[in-house]
């Protein structure tokens, strides 16, 4: 978590980042105005502006004149790799989304919740999901009713993460996956495996099996990350 403190603006930015990442400042929280931060650190406003502008560029806060600087809702993928909430995606293309939780259990002597569930489009199974959520990092997840709430949607709305790792591969569906998705054994599936961290703590680990004939991923971006 510790940032390099070599420069003042980096320290200010790091301090604010820490407040947000630890959850002390939740989404919607109004960050003190520049002149106040400036007094607190005994520095000029340009230095504060450099720090907070960087946070705005990276999407952690949003800034508005008069209304001030507000902690932003955690983005799922910062618009870089678009693997948004599947329910939104299905609804965006005019389908009817439904959810079915197949199996719930506690693992690792209660430290981890395991969820196996299906996501449907117009009543057809589109994706099988197997997910672990680590309660050490996200204790609130212990109380959530994942029988009715898709875990991905819940996490997206409640948890800020600092790093994610994806592995995308193609597999032929074997028995269990084929049965749940209702496809013949051997059918091509797109498999997305994702691990997400907050600082040093693993938040969640998920494997998603998409029907290859009904789903693909897309990503669009520029190398220059135009930030204004």
Partner DNA sequence: TAGTGGTCTAGACCACTAA
Binding site for a copy of itself (CB under 8 A): 10, 17, 46, 54, 57-60, 74-78, 80-81, 161-172, 186-191, 210, 212, 215-228
* Nearest alpha-carbon partner for 196 in 187, 205, 188: 205
- CA separation for the pair 208, 118 (Å, rounded): 10
Q: Which does 162 bind (CB under 5 to 8 A by kind): a copy of itself, DNA, none?
A: a copy of itself
- By beta-carbon proximity to a copy of itself, the closer residue of 116 and 214 is 214
CB-nearer residue toward a copy of itself: 37 or 76:
76
**Which runs of E-coded beta strand occur in 46-173?**
61-64, 68-71, 81-82, 97-107, 112-121, 124-134, 163-172
Nearer to DNA, 57 or 147 (CB): 57
Give which of DNA, a copy of itself, none residue 42 binds (C-beta under 5 to 8 Å, depending on kind). DNA
User: Which one of DNA, a copy of itself, none interacts with residue 144, CB within 5 to 8 A by kind?
Assistant: none
Which residues make up the interface to DNA (CB under 7 A)?
6-10, 31, 33-35, 42-47, 49-50, 52-53, 56, 63-69, 228
Least distance (Å) between residue 199 CB and a copy of itself: 11
Q: How far is CA 3 from CA 45, 46, 51, 71, in A?
A: 21, 20, 13, 19
Cβ atoms 73, 87 nearer than 8 A:
no
Alpha carbon 53 to chain centroid distance? Answer: 22
Tally of CA atoms within 13 A in the half-sphere of 210 that contains its CB: 17
Query: Are 86 and 119 a contacting pair, CB within 8 Å?
Result: yes
**Least distance from DNA to the Cβ atom of residue 12, Å:** 8
Q: Which does 188 bind (CB under 5 to 8 A by kind): a copy of itself, DNA, none?
A: a copy of itself
């Amino acid at each position: 978590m510790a940032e390099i403190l070599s420069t003042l603006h980096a320290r200010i930015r790091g301090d604010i980042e820490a407040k947000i990442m630890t959850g002390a400042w939740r989404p919607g929280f109004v960050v003190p105005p520049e002149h106040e931060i400036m007094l607190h650190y005994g520095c000029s406003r340009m230095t504060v502006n450099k720090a907070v502008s960087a946070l705005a560029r990276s999407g952690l806060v949003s800034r508005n004149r008069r209304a001030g600087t507000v902690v932003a809702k955690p983005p799922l993928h910062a618009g870089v790799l678009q693997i948004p909430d599947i329910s939104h995606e299905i609804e965006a293309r005019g389908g009817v989304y439904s959810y079915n939780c197949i199996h719930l259990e506690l693992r690792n002597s209660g430290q981890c919740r395991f969820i196996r569930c299906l996501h449907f489009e117009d009543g057809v199974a589109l994706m099988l999901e197997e997910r672990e959520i680590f309660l050490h990092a996200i204790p609130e997840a212990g109380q959530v009713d994942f029988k009715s709430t898709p875990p991905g949607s819940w996490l997206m709305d409640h948890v800020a993460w600092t790093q994610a790792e994806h592995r995308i591969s193609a597999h032929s569906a074997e028995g269990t996956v084929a049965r749940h998705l209702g496809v013949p054994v051997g059918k091509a599936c797109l498999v997305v495996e994702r691990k997400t961290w907050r600082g040093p703590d693993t938040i969640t680990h998920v494997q998603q099996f998409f029907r290859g004939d009904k789903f693909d991923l897309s990503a669009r971006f520029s190398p220059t990350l135009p930030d204004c």
